[in-house]
Amino acid sequence: MDLMTIFGLILGAVAVYFVMWRGDILYLVFNLDALVLVLGGTFASTFIAFPFSTLKEIPKAFKLAFFPRHRETALEMMKIVVSIAEKVRRSGAETLVNEIHSIGNNFLRNSLKMVIDGFEQEFIREYMEKEIIYLQQRHRKVSSVFRFMATVAPIFGLLGTLIGVVQVLRNITDPVKMGSSMAVAVVTTFYGIFLANFFCLPVAVKLSEYSENEIINMQLICEGINSILNGDVPLITEKKLETFLSARLKEKNYGK
Amino acid sequence: MDLMTIFGLILGAVAVYFVMWRGDILYLVFNLDALVLVLGGTFASTFIAFPFSTLKEIPKAFKLAFFPRHRETALEMMKIVVSIAEKVRRSGAETLVNEIHSIGNNFLRNSLKMVIDGFEQEFIREYMEKEIIYLQQRHRKVSSVFRFMATVAPIFGLLGTLIGVVQVLRNITDPVKMGSSMAVAVVTTFYGIFLANFFCLPVAVKLSEYSENEIINMQLICEGINSILNGDVPLITEKKLETFLSARLKEKNYGK
Amino acid sequence: MDLMTIFGLILGAVAVYFVMWRGDILYLVFNLDALVLVLGGTFASTFIAFPFSTLKEIPKAFKLAFFPRHRETALEMMKIVVSIAEKVRRSGAETLVNEIHSIGNNFLRNSLKMVIDGFEQEFIREYMEKEIIYLQQRHRKVSSVFRFMATVAPIFGLLGTLIGVVQVLRNITDPVKMGSSMAVAVVTTFYGIFLANFFCLPVAVKLSEYSENEIINMQLICEGINSILNGDVPLITEKKLETFLSARLKEKNYGK
Amino acid sequence: MDLMTIFGLILGAVAVYFVMWRGDILYLVFNLDALVLVLGGTFASTFIAFPFSTLKEIPKAFKLAFFPRHRETALEMMKIVVSIAEKVRRSGAETLVNEIHSIGNNFLRNSLKMVIDGFEQEFIREYMEKEIIYLQQRHRKVSSVFRFMATVAPIFGLLGTLIGVVQVLRNITDPVKMGSSMAVAVVTTFYGIFLANFFCLPVAVKLSEYSENEIINMQLICEGINSILNGDVPLITEKKLETFLSARLKEKNYGK
Amino acid sequence: MDLMTIFGLILGAVAVYFVMWRGDILYLVFNLDALVLVLGGTFASTFIAFPFSTLKEIPKAFKLAFFPRHRETALEMMKIVVSIAEKVRRSGAETLVNEIHSIGNNFLRNSLKMVIDGFEQEFIREYMEKEIIYLQQRHRKVSSVFRFMATVAPIFGLLGTLIGVVQVLRNITDPVKMGSSMAVAVVTTFYGIFLANFFCLPVAVKLSEYSENEIINMQLICEGINSILNGDVPLITEKKLETFLSARLKEKNYGK
């Protein structure tokens, strides 16, 4: 996944560089005024719009979009849950105590702790379902910050262009000077659009995609632990979890 | 939170000031015509669109967006509810009578009053759930006024620009005069966009964020009081409320 | 409410008049071509888009947006329903027969008639709920006509501008004539935007607001009559209706 | 209804004709290039976007939007269903066998056939509800084709304008020639906007309106047949259907 | 279906070719800079926005949109399911073992396997419903990639135009050179709009349509197998499946 993002960044940069180099206007790539206005305006609006408790998640989320954590695939997660089901079937939930610290997934570990601690099935199920709902809500909030930035960035680019146009109009009797001022005005819109569509929007979409994958894994765990608590034989547990899995494996057979 | 908003306002003002100063067009920052048309038109549309009962909430909501009331975090609220659960467990709901006036949160206080007054559990639960639904609806209504203003402000900016363009066209044979009229025309769009994206939209988003946080606190209280009325031991009550809390605490561990 | 709408209309008119007067282009306020195209096109599209049964509601709805009917506040409505609950408690539903004609609210009167006529509770509840759903649907339909008009009006303004631009281009060698034709072209867009954002959209929003208020009143009545049929004591009925009410009264304490 | 559509078409045509005649540019109404590009592009995109099974419904749906089938009003439909309820009450469902072929409404006739054939009530209810859901889905699909066309038509108009602008720019040194080329470029956008807002969008809206009316009639029939199968007396059946009806009749009293 | 897509592609190409040929600007159809920027930027954004696991489905989905797999119509699928119902009725589910490999539809085959393997009805029903939900989710994800591309393609076209405008402004004193640069600038927007509305958006819509058809078939199978497991006689099974079918057949009678 990481490779794809890097490839995307390079491809985009090369495409823009190539076209600007062919047009002999590479000197326009960096413009202080445009940068100050677009970045300053976008961050300012975002700071006003969101409370600090939301904003402080942004740097981490941004990093996460480019360097995703390792996450078990649905197939791996199914195997883990099924192997737990088998142990519970063989020697009871108590034997999990020793192994619980080697489980990497937080949600699975916490849920199993509650099983070991002897909470009622209904209580554990409700607890897990609420965790999923509130995680989804929190993820949506973080990705909505990037969507907000993708909305206002081009608008502050436009503001910069308006400022530039005013400057241009003062030089309206001098076509050469007018042309060069206009170029600067155009760059601001360029920055706004580029920031929105090359960083903010793709990051928002990628965070949503990662969130969706994590939620599916959590639903798989929730279904699996429920099946264990129901006393299903491990084979039935596996069959139940297959629906999550086949959703992935069938993807590979999509075109057949 | 307040600091972030102030920082955002300063950052935005500095960015715009810097760019206009560099472009030597600071004299354009204030323009009477543009101000009259954008503010007048936006407020006029808003006055027509919303009944007075909704409009009269706006100044308070605007103030609230910049100077938020102190609100308990989910962690603090959980501790309060759990301590109440312990008192009720030890000495019954009646002992709350003396302490109820020291509870700062309206919703918690009102709900506890109903518990003391001996209303049935089902009745209290329904009452609390309806309160949450209607508060949500009322909050949405208030923030929708700001979204409406964010929609019409740039359009009245555009109207001003159209008026400006007509003036410009009358001076079409005189390029210098035309340029200066055009500058004024452009300022109106500037005002409209600035008002929408720097005030109205961020305020609407922030009010929604605050509303969401308040609703989560209320759901926590609702869950807690239900748990108390169920006769759960305080430990179970705490565990039940943890799902709300962990949603916050896990945020801190988001990047790990 | 009415006062606010009038104030909004005056404020908007004054703002536009002031700016046009300052710009010395008041003569442009009225333009036959622009008026014919924008109004003609908007009404034509609307006539094609909606069946006659929907269109014939529009004049009344338009009037209603500016001259709203008197409607009981939630507080008044609660008092009426509670006083009915007390009468029913004291002397049975039959005693309502004499008073039923003095009840101003149609929905309350019709529902009480069904109570007097001895229909089953379940039947009455379903009847009332369906009434609310279909009223909501009908209101949404009417306000969607105004939203449709707000969508097409600026587009027909743009069409007029396109026609104007063609005329302008025929006079491209004569800058003075071109300027005056361009002014006319611009006015059509002005009309389209003004019609959409100053009449259609605010009217659509106001109708939705009024509808929402009426629906809340009807839900209050529905809840109240159900409580009466349940045989609740009037105090419980009052407490149940308080959730609707407090939603309003708390609004007054919003900023505290 | 039909009259209203015809009136709308005439009103729109007259408004455009009047304005173009006043501007002395009637010769621009027909332009081959613009027509080929806008119609060709719009139809081409639509052909690619929708499978043939959806596309073949379009001509009929288009015709239906302008020449709607006769459909019973909710009041007429209620009377038909109530009279059936009375017959069933008097002499049993079997007596309907002779009359069933005189029933014009397909859905009512098919549902009654199932009653006569002795299917279980639950089975008939599920069957009718599924019919309603799938009809709604099918109607939505057809009207979405017109919405798609309304989205792409102005964009192909814009494409034509871009092509026109390129031609214009080749003649940039010759203002007169440039003006006339520009006029042609503008006409393409005109066509695109006109097609979208005068045909596609209104047709899509009208089909949705008709669909909604048909669905309400079907819900009335479904409710009525259920009431008959419940063994309700015809008076109760009538009262139950009144909620659908009053939704219409109250519309007439909307402004009182 | 395939024929319609090919016809659409040819129609669109001919319309654009015809108009460009008439305007004598065919040489503009291919422009390297525009192609690099629009395709490069669009793919780059898409690579950043979606994880690799989603992206790798795109080529197959693209192919599928133009060369759809053969799929049973609802009518054919109903006949298959009914014939299975008859066999099960006659000689029990076990006799299906021999025929199961000749069933082309994956979903039907897998579901029947579970029937033969003796899973409980409730288990099979839940399994099938989950399969449908996750397939829908996966299809939506794939078609959302094309919608994302349709959103960013015109924006990268605009970026190219901005770059072109800057170049134009450098030659502002030389009208002839300016004109030809401007033409190139315009072509980039042309490419962006064309790519979005002629490929990405129609493909996204078509994939949604195909998905909807496949989902309806799966719901038919789900309903049918449930009916078989309920022990319904084949006639009832057929009647139950008719609601899916008639939704299609009635389409043919839509205009009557």
CA-based nearest residue in chain E for residue A14: E40
C175: confidence class by pLDDT, cuts 50, 70, 90: low
Percent of chain D with pLDDT over 70: 92
pLDDT for position B246: 58
pLDDT for position A105: 86
CA distance D164 to C235: 76
CA-based nearest residue in chain E for residue A198: E45
- The per-residue pLDDT for range D229-247, each reduced to its tens digit, is 998 889 889 888 888 875 5
Percent of chain C with pLDDT over 70: 93
pLDDT for position C69: 78
CA nearest A107: which of A209, A216, A222?
A222
Distance from D242 to chain E by nearest Cα, in Å? 28
pLDDT for position D93: 78
Pairwise CB contact (< 8 Å): A163 & B210: no
Distance from B159 to chain C by nearest Cα, in Å? 6
Query: Which region among B75-89, C169-183, D131-145, E2-16 has the lowest average model confidence (pLDDT)?
Result: C169-183
Contacts of B141 in chain C (CB under 8 A): 209, 212
**Is C46's pLDDT higher than 60?**
yes
Average pLDDT of the segment spanning B38-66: 88
CA nearest E115: which of E103, E130, E100, E102?
E100
Q: What is the mean pLDDT of chain C?
A: 84
A254: confidence class by pLDDT, cuts 50, 70, 90: very low
Touching status, chains E and A (3+ beta-carbon pairs under 8 Å): yes
- The per-residue pLDDT for range B126-171, each reduced to its tens digit, is 999 988 998 888 889 999 999 999 999 999 998 888 888 877 777 7
pLDDT for position D128: 92
Q: Where are the alpha helices (DSSP H) in A25-120?
A: 32-49, 52-55, 58-66, 74-91, 106-116
pLDDT for position C75: 84
pLDDT for position D172: 67
Q: What is the largest CA-CA distance in chain B?
A: 90
Contacts of C167 in chain D (CB under 8 A): 23-25
pLDDT for position D251: 44
Contacts of B25 in chain A (CB under 8 A): 163, 166-167, 170
**Is C176's pLDDT higher than 80?**
no
pLDDT for position B253: 37
pTM: 0.87
A192: confidence class by pLDDT, cuts 50, 70, 90: very high
Percent of chain C with pLDDT over 90: 27
Percent of chain B with pLDDT over 70: 92
Contacts of C25 in chain B (CB under 8 A): 163, 166-167, 170
Pairwise CB contact (< 8 Å): E47 & A3: no
Contacts of E24 in chain D (CB under 8 A): 167
- Work out the angle at residue B130's Cα, subtended by the Cα atoms of residues A53 and C141, and round it to the nearest 5 degrees: 95
Pairwise CB contact (< 8 Å): D243 & C155: no
CA distance A36 to A10: 24
The complex's ipTM works out to 0.84
Average pLDDT of the segment spanning E26-42: 86
pLDDT for position D246: 58
Contacts of D37 in chain E (CB under 8 A): 15-16, 19
Distance from B205 to chain C by nearest Cα, in Å? 18
Q: What is the largest CA-CA distance in chain C?
A: 90
Tell me if D221 sits within 8 A of D78, measured CB to CB: no
E96: confidence class by pLDDT, cuts 50, 70, 90: confident
Pairwise CB contact (< 8 Å): C179 & B156: no
Of residues E54, E137, E169, nearest to A179 (C-beta): E169
Distance from D43 to chain C by nearest Cα, in Å? 21
Contacts of C119 in chain D (CB under 8 A): 239
CA-based nearest residue in chain D for residue E16: D37
CA distance B43 to B45: 6
Q: What is the mean pLDDT of chain E?
A: 84
Of residues A5, A25, A193, nearest to E48 (C-beta): A5
Pairwise CB contact (< 8 Å): D190 & C36: no
Contacts of A53 in chain B (CB under 8 A): 1, 213, 248, 251
For residue B188, the number of C-alpha atoms closer than 13 Å in the C-beta half-sphere is: 27
pLDDT for position C249: 57
**Is E169's pLDDT higher than 90?**
no
CA-based nearest residue in chain A for residue E166: A183
DSSP symbols for chain D: -HHHHHHHHHHHHHHHHHHHHHTT-GGGS--HHHHHHHHHHHHHHHHHHS-HHHHTTHHHHHHHHHSPPP---HHHHHHHHHHHHHHHHHH-GGGGGGTGGG---HHHHHHHHHHHTT--HHHHHHHHHHHHHHHHHHHHHHHHHHHHHHHHHHHHHHHHHHHHHHHHHHTTT-HHHHHHHHHHHHHHHHHHHHIIIIIIHHHHHHHHHHHHHHHHHHHHHHHHHHHHHTT--HHHHHHHHHHHHHHHHHHHTTT-
Which has more pLDDT, B214 or E185? Answer: B214
Touching status, chains C and B (3+ beta-carbon pairs under 8 Å): yes
CA-based nearest residue in chain E for residue D37: E15
Contacts of C57 in chain D (CB under 8 A): 251, 254
E128: confidence class by pLDDT, cuts 50, 70, 90: very high
Instruction: Suggest the residue from D48, D52, D64 to mutate for an interface test with chain E (most E CBs closer than 10 A).
Output: D48
Instruction: Suggest the residue from E73, E205, E232, E256 to mutate for an interface test with chain D (most D CBs closer than 10 A).
Output: E205
Q: What is the CA radius of gyration of chain A?
A: 26
Q: Which helix (H) or strand (E) holds C228?
A: helix C201-229
DSSP E198: I
pLDDT for position D89: 87
Query: Which region among A129-143, C180-194, C195-209, C211-225 has the lowest average model confidence (pLDDT)?
Result: C180-194
Query: Which region among B65-69, C152-156, E123-127, E238-242 has the lowest average model confidence (pLDDT)?
Result: B65-69
Average pLDDT of the segment spanning A200-229: 92
- The per-residue pLDDT for range E55-89, each reduced to its tens digit, is 888 888 888 888 887 788 888 888 899 999 998 88
pLDDT for position E252: 45
Query: Which region among A83-97, C159-173, D145-159, E40-54 has the lowest average model confidence (pLDDT)?
Result: C159-173
The values of phi and psi at residue C57, to 5°, are -85, -15
Query: Which region among A76-85, B125-134, C114-123, E167-176 has the lowest average model confidence (pLDDT)?
Result: E167-176
Neighbours of chain B (3+ CB pairs under 8 A): A, C
Tell me if A236 sits within 8 A of E41, measured CB to CB: no
Pairwise CB contact (< 8 Å): B206 & A50: yes
A142-156, C93-107, E89-103 — most confident range:
A142-156
Of residues A40, A51, A163, nearest to B23 (C-beta): A163
- The per-residue pLDDT for range C116-152, each reduced to its tens digit, is 888 889 999 999 998 899 888 889 999 999 999 999 9
**Is B33's pLDDT higher than 70?**
yes
**Is D250's pLDDT higher than 50?**
no
For residue C187, the number of C-alpha atoms closer than 13 Å in the C-beta half-sphere is: 22
B207-221, D58-72, D160-174 — most confident range:
B207-221
pLDDT for position C256: 34
pLDDT for position B251: 44
Of residues B44, B53, B160, nearest to C8 (C-beta): B44
Which has more pLDDT, A170 or E230? Answer: E230
pLDDT for position A145: 94
Touching status, chains E and D (3+ beta-carbon pairs under 8 Å): yes
- The per-residue pLDDT for range C58-74, each reduced to its tens digit, is 888 888 888 887 788 88
Average pLDDT of the segment spanning B187-209: 91
**Is C154's pLDDT higher than 50?**
yes
Average pLDDT of the segment spanning D151-156: 92
Query: Which region among B215-229, C17-31, E8-22 has the lowest average model confidence (pLDDT)?
Result: C17-31
Compute the residue count for chain D: 256
Pairwise CB contact (< 8 Å): D187 & C166: yes
pLDDT for position C253: 38
CA-based nearest residue in chain B for residue C172: B172
Pairwise CB contact (< 8 Å): E43 & A11: yes
* Alpha carbon C171 to chain centroid, angstroms: 46
pLDDT for position A200: 92
Cβ neighbours of D231 (radius 10 Å): 10
**Is C252's pLDDT higher than 50?**
no
Interface A–B counts its CB contacts (< 8 A) at 165
Whole-angstrom distance between the N-terminal and C-terminal Cα of chain B?
25
**Is C177's pLDDT higher than 60?**
yes
Write out the two tokens for A156: 């502050």
pLDDT for position B252: 45
